[in-house]
């Protein structure tokens, strides 16, 4: 069958871990098991999410980014508390539920059989892979980043064609965000979101922020002084119109602010592997996909994904 070529179809850059964690916690294990009883709720969930994304966004290219290193040493060296609360039995062991860990290789097997590119890069998080893909975007080759991680609002860029499909409430309720949407949601420009996030901190990532500076204060500072550098310069300048208490808070947090932005900003220069992101019109290994679907009780989900490929 002949298919029309879409002009400027986007690259769909997917935060895989964000989606499979959401699927794992959103679908009961009892509702998705293999014939021998192994849970496949995360596998089924991410397949269905990808099918919906492909059907609704109609990308020509897809990359599923992986966490090759979920807590990179270079970030921990700068801020030792970075994701420290997620450490389990050792300094570099993430607390992944016992029934989720075996499902990740299964997800990768399905993606390989379908022909969807999936990779991580040693020393970097999935966010950094997504940031590098976004940095390569142009209006002729736009990028849509999919994640439930709000740090990725910083990637939105109207001039280069980067949108953020925020799935904080699930893939069925995506928030399709351009620069105006980021401004409406957080009150700051997308380009200054990382400065805003560094100031307010993020307990979920072990980032302390500036004590006493929350969302509203951080927003006001960014809008008055432009970015973190401007805010710190104003704090050092005794003549700047900055309340004494707030100035002290910023100056007292100098050691943290020296490194915070480097940790909060996603990398945009990751050495990505030479992998073809083109999305096929049919599975590259249909026999293997059928075998996996039958072995793991995923026939319905796999069919929905195949249908999404062929119908777009």
pLDDT reported for residue 45 = 97
Rounded Cα gap, residues 266 and 129, in angstroms: 8
What token pair was written down for 221?
A: 């500072």
Same domain, residue pair 230 and 137: no
pLDDT reported for residue 68 = 94
pLDDT reported for residue 4 = 40
Where are the extended beta strands (E) located within the chain? 11-15, 61-65, 117-119, 143-147, 162-166, 175-177
pLDDT at 5 over 60: no
CATH number, domain of 148, equals: 3.40.50.1010
Same domain, residue pair 36 and 113: yes
Same domain, residue pair 45 and 159: yes
Same domain, residue pair 207 and 272: no
Q: Nearest-CA neighbor of 92 among 100, 102, 82?
A: 82
Of the CA atoms within 13 Å of residue 281, those in its CB half-sphere come to 8
pLDDT at 196 over 70: yes
In degrees and rounded to multiples of 5, residue 307 shows phi and psi of: -60, -40
What is the DSSP secondary-structure string of 68-107? S-SS-HHHHHH-TTTTGGGB-SSTT-B---TTTTTHHHHH
Same domain, residue pair 296 and 258: no
Q: How many domains does the chain have?
A: 2
Given pLDDT bands bounded at 50, 70 and 90, which one contains residue 77? very high
Q: What is the pLDDT of residues 286-312, one digit of tens each?
A: 999 999 999 999 999 999 999 999 998
Same domain, residue pair 260 and 271: no
Rounded Cα gap, residues 288 and 169, in angstroms: 33
> Residue range 271-296: average pLDDT?
97
Answer whether 266's CB lies under 8 Å from 154's CB: yes
CATH number, domain of 226, equals: 1.10.150.20
pLDDT at 93 over 50: no
Taking the mean position of all CA atoms in its chain, how far away is CA 306? 24
Same domain, residue pair 55 and 165: yes
Indicate the helix (H) or strand (E) that contains 54: helix 41-57
pLDDT at 194 over 90: yes
Same domain, residue pair 156 and 96: yes
pLDDT at 7 over 90: no
Residue 197 lies in a domain: yes
Q: What is the pLDDT of residues 200-253, one digit of tens each?
A: 999 888 999 999 999 999 999 999 999 999 999 999 987 778 999 999 999 999
Same domain, residue pair 278 and 181: yes
Residue-number span of the structural domain to which 138 is assigned: 11-186+267-302
Quote the mean pLDDT of the chain: 93
Residue 2 lies in a domain: no
Same domain, residue pair 167 and 202: no
Residue 1 lies in a domain: no
Same domain, residue pair 35 and 83: yes
What token pair was written down for 41?
A: 């709720």
Given pLDDT bands bounded at 50, 70 and 90, which one contains residue 79? very high
Residue 3 lies in a domain: no
pLDDT reported for residue 94 = 52
Same domain, residue pair 109 and 143: yes
Q: What is the pLDDT of residues 35-58, one digit of tens each?
A: 999 999 999 999 999 999 999 999
> Residue range 81-108: average pLDDT?
78
Q: Nearest-CA neighbor of 110 among 40, 162, 37, 203?
A: 40
Residue 30 neighbours by CB under 8 Å, 6+ apart: none
Q: What is the pLDDT of residues 117-146, one digit of tens each?
A: 999 999 999 999 999 999 999 999 999 999
């Amino acid at each position: 069958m002949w298919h029309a070529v879409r002009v400027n179809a986007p690259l769909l850059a997917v935060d895989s871990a964000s989606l499979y964690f959401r699927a794992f916690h959103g679908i009961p294990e009892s509702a998705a098991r293999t014939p021998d009883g192994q849970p496949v709720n995360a596998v089924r969930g991410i397949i269905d999410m990808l099918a919906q994304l492909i059907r609704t966004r109609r990308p020509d290219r897809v990359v599923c980014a992986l966490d090759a290193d979920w807590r990179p040493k270079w970030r921990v060296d700068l801020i030792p508390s970075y994701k420290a609360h997620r450490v389990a039995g050792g300094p570099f062991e993430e607390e992944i539920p016992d029934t989720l860990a075996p499902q990740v290789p299964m997800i990768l097997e399905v993606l390989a059989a379908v022909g969807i590119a999936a990779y991580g890069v040693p020393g970097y998080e999935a966010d950094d892979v997504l940031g590098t893909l976004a940095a390569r975007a142009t209006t002729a080759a736009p990028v849509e980043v999919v994640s439930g991680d709000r740090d990725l609002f910083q990637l939105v860029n109207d001039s280069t064609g980067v949108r953020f499909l925020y799935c904080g409430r699930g893939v069925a309720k995506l928030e399709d965000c351009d620069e105006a949407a980021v401004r409406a949601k957080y009150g700051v420009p997308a380009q200054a979101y990382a400065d805003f996030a560094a100031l307010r901190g993020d307990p979920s990532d072990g980032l302390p922020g500036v004590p006493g500076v929350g969302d509203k204060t951080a927003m006001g500072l960014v809008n008055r002084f432009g970015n973190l550098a401007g805010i710190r310069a104003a704090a050092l300048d005794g003549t700047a119109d900055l309340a004494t208490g707030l100035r002290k808070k910023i100056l007292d947090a100098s050691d943290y602010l020296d490194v915070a932005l480097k940790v909060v900003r996603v990398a945009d220069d990751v050495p990505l592997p030479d992998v073809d992101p083109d999305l096929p019109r049919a599975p590259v290994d249909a026999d293997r996909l059928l075998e996996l679907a039958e072995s793991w009780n995923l026939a319905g989900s796999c069919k929905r994904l195949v249908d999404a490929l062929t119908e777009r």
